[in-house]
Amino acid sequence: MPPTWKLKSDDPSTGSDSIESALETLLLLRGIATPEERERFLEPDYDRDLHDPFLFTSMERVTERFAKARDAGERVGLFGDFDADGITSTVLLHEALTKLSIPVTVHIPDKHTEGHGLSGVALDLFERDGVTLVVTVDCGMTDHEPIAEAKRRGMDTIVIDHHHVPETVPDAYAFVNPRLPGETYPFKELCGAGISFKVLQAVYMRFFPEELEQLKWFLDVAAVGTVADVMPLVGENRTIVTYGLVVLSKSKRHGFREMVSRGRIPVGGGKAPSARDISFQIAPRINAASRMAHARVAYDLLVEEDPDRARETAGILEAHNVERQKVSAEIAKAVKVVALAHADRRFVFAAHEDFHFGVVGLVAGRIANEFRKPTIVLTKGESVSRGSLRSIPELNIIEVIEECGDLLERFGGHAQAAGLTVRNEHLAVLEERLERLANERLSGDRLEPETSVDMRLHPSLLTLDFARRVKRLAPFGQGNPEPVFLLESVRVEGVRPVGSDGKHLKLSLSVQGGRRFDAIGFSLADRISGLSAGDMIDIVFQLDENEWNGSVNLQLKLVDMRRSEKL
């Protein structure tokens, strides 16, 4: 079913031909109203907009424990999650500890055999290496038993995490999590990499204040983790990502340089990657490691100091990513069949022995987005099933999962994404309960696919100048989506399918007055049957630039289109 179009602002003034008026509307739609808010949003400032890391209630305790470890010659066990946020978090914490000359044993779990959270495998490794302090990054909030076991083995544990805080927290030495009840840190939306950067910042402020400027070189790592974990690009995250993209364009890390090259991301000459480049080129490559093999491949790539070894490792990662694309497409096709077969249900529930565990989260997100339904995809084993849930904005999935806790072996996550393990005999009951809870929490109306549109656009604003002014609102992503505009009664002057499979459309369009412009519609070839020159259509789109033979022109990226009802 084609999505409905929902205008955020249908005020007649939004059709104004004034650039300033249109930009004002876009800012207001993002909650940016006062001159101070506009300045902070349009001109993020590193020194002004990054908060003092010691506003975290436990940061002083954490740095004191690091100092004790350094002075006593202790070894630290660093345990990171296996996704892009966890890997980048681990890189940043390793930088902090090695800067302090503290010996470190790094362990990133095997997604397929260890699963989420601090594991016995890690504790055994840490004990063999003489670890006396464990630091978990991007995980740990629900690891009660492993943290208790670490304590029994003589290890303190510091939990650095941003995930949901359970009613009872583990018996850890300290927590750094902005979501903790009573936490004084003013920004709550940091991801694991963002919090790890704050720990690194605290280490530099306390022990190396004369080198504080060097912190900026770590912002590429923090930015990748922030965008990859789909955090809202507002507040402190916006500052981290804005500066991080600039650092990424000239990164000292051979691993990032390789991924930028293999993703064909244009950099140099004043060009920096975009948040979208991270989302579609860099993050998938990092995540492919744990999905198809082991996350350590991606971690090793990011810390590799030899360019030749980095090139070789990047090639291995590239092969994993190609395989990931193939496998996830096959499973998404199967889950879509399930979703269509149960179209009357609120929750998409799919479990199968052949579902590759490495990509179930990716597939769940794709299906949830396409069908606008919370989705769980599980890999069935002999006795237990493991999988991932992805939700829609209207439903807090971790709250739903907590109400299923009696059926689950383990679970964790946050409002829009979670993971769980369940015994197979509980699958039918779990499916029934998830459906009931979704029905209770979602409104009575069916949730249909929907495209959010910022505003109608006056045809006179179809200019490179306006497109470049809109780009000042970047970086775009969660919490600050790229603006989408509406134009009605646009004439088709030319149309041709493009791409190897003809799924995309290249259009030549004209508006009243005869002005022509180009448009590209990815995966829209089947949207309007029999579309041809002379047809009148309505379009929703984003503004883009297309460079060809040294010339730069405005191009519209079509989000959707339909035949015009206005003749």
pLDDT tens-place string over residues 135-145: 999 999 999 99
Cβ distance 101 to 300 under 8 Å?
A: no
CA distance 121 to 295: 15
In DSSP terms, 7 is beta-bridged to 453
Cα–Cα distance between 390 and 347 in angstroms, integer?
Answer: 10
- When mean pLDDT is compared across 4-13, 127-136, 155-164, 406-415, the lowest value belongs to 4-13
pLDDT over 60 at 237, yes or no: yes
Residue 191 has pLDDT above 90, yes or no: yes
pLDDT at position 177 over 90 = yes
What CATH number labels 342-441? 3.10.310.30
Segment 433-438 mean pLDDT: 95
Task: Please report the pLDDT score of residue 444 as a whole number.
Answer: 62
pLDDT of residue 228: 96
Residues 6+ apart with CB under 8 A from 75: 102, 103, 104, 105, 129, 130, 131, 132, 133
Asked if the model's pLDDT at residue 16 lies above 80, the reply is: no
List the CATH code of the domain at 49-252: 3.90.1640.30
* pLDDT (tens digit per residue) in 106-134: 999 999 888 888 999 999 999 999 999 99
Which residue ranges does the chain devote to CATH 3.90.1640.30? Answer: 49-252
- Joined together, the tokens standing for residue 1 give 């079913």
Task: Label residue 565 by pLDDT band (50, 70, 90).
Answer: confident
Average pLDDT over the chain reads 93
User: Is 4-42+451-563 assigned to CATH 2.40.50.460?
Assistant: yes
The pLDDT tens digits of the residues spanning 54-78 come to: 999 999 999 999 999 999 999 999 9
pLDDT for residue 3 is more than 80: no
Q: How far is 492 from 362, CA to CA, in rounded Å? A: 36
What pLDDT shows up at residue 352? 97
- The ranges of the chain annotated as CATH 2.40.50.460 are 4-42+451-563
CA distances from 116 to 140, 366, 415 (A): 9, 21, 17
In which band, very low, low, confident or very high, does the pLDDT at 268 lie, cut at 50, 70 and 90?
confident
